[in-house]
Structure 1
Amino acid sequence: MSSTWDSNVAPPHRKMGPMAWLRVGLRGVPLAILVFGGLAVLLLVRLVERPIHGFHRPWTPHITRFVCRAAFICLGVRFRSEGQPMQQRGAVVSNHASWLDIFALNARKRVYFVSKSEVSKWPGIGWLARSTGTVFIDRDPRQAREQKKLFEQRLLAGHKLLFFPEGTSSDGIRILPFKSTLFAAFFTPELKNELYIQPVTLSYQAPNGSDPRLYGWWGDMDFAPHLLQTLSAAPQGQVTVTYHGPLKVSEFESRKDLAFACEKIIRSGLKLSPVAQAMLSK
């Protein structure tokens, strides 16, 4: 993973008045009950699922999808999806804008995130990531062979691993250049002729009159203040998940060609407001 992307324009900031704090409570308490209650149920079900199905998870992903869809209801953010999640064996790649991506990408289809190992130690998010089957990768080159083996095992088992090729999150109104390194895992002899890659575009639309980067989480922004800003927003906006047609790995000559094709497709699906487009053109 790369260092965190930052912008030369200061992130949006809203003052928290009494009504804002009221919205935080009215949305935050149900959201916390939903997420951590769902986590408790998932862990209990996993106690039975693991001995019966082992590596496979036929039951618990349904809990994850329910929680993620309901999370947007708690937040008041509209959720919309376009296209169809692929049925073929393979991986998913998407742009990365916010911690909300976790809910958006799990709300429609079972996926397993690939994340840097540091995330596993984050309070709250780390617990959720581990319990939902996230694959953690270490930047230590000595771990490369074991990580490659784990990728192959999970992909051949039918798990849809989800990668963020940008390597970090942005402000939500742009897509950063894709890094092709992780795509190399798809070109091994065991996987190249077996896998498809589905590009997915995440588009966040802030409410009218708000900074179009409202939902973006980047730079040195702390999680807690951004969570409060998201919970307090009134009105709320919308997130759109666009599933593009899957690409067969064997039809590409190299990881760079595949990474370029995915980046081009995902960029084409990004939905921006006129205000966001004007901000990008400056």
Structure 2
Amino acid sequence: MDVIVAGDRAELAEARRTLGIGGPGRLDGPPALALVPTMGALHEGHRSLMRQARELAEHVAVSIFVNPLQFGPGEDYSRYPRTFETDLEICAAEGVSVVFAPSAEDMYLPDRQVSVSAGAMGAVAEGAFRPGHFDGVLTVVLKLFNLVRPDVAVFGRKDAQQLALIRRMVADLDVPVSVVGAPTVREPDGLALSSRNRYLSPQDRIAALALSRALFAGEREGGPAQILRAARAVLDAEPAVEVDYLILADPATFAEVGDDHTGEAVLAVAARVGTTRLIDNVVLTLG
């Protein structure tokens, strides 16, 4: 079956009927529908999410929506890459059943008043540098969950704080969706795949490798102080990289961990390389 393209709520509902999908939460057999939320400009990392979704459910839906609520003043909303026809080809090649590609006008009422608050957890790390970003992320994700009505949703672990907040929202608000985190996909030289990588000049791309090198250097160390010191040394050695933050945090809460922390921790970095802002992380086990 060819991929069904739904441009609004009515077409999405019709797509569900065409595919024979009822409500979420079937009691027998595999889940009926898995959702991969994206902002388009799809790459191999997105393909890996679709492949994992195919293993989890009978049908896969991919949303393509550049969400204005998660972009702050001066950020790259207007120039965010939009490659819809290529994205459709990728979805078709990966066996996606339906692509939901609404407009901003279809997603948000003109007099919208209610949104989701990410709370204190959304104000640290990435949230401290992008105020309101995670409120916008959680608002659109909850709306996508309500419109698409998936049984399971697959997100990349590269956006570790986003993944943690979505899991917390699902738990706090009793959203009947199982949230799955998929491994970060990297280029052979270690650079984490991102739609924003296409903004990097050849020189900037070489400099951007400092992010993954820093994380891998920290990964080889034993305690929190040593991990951060080793990672920081790599970043400081690359003058073209302007670091926003480098933290070692609890992967469930994103509170920074102390020297006595044992168990899992996420080493996360955000930095600007030229005009492009990149994020990356690795998950470590301490103690």
Q: Using CA pairs below 8 Å that are at least 6 residues apart, which structure has the higher relative contact order? A: 1
TM-score bracket, shorter-length normalisation: 0.3 to 0.5
Bigger helix fraction: 1
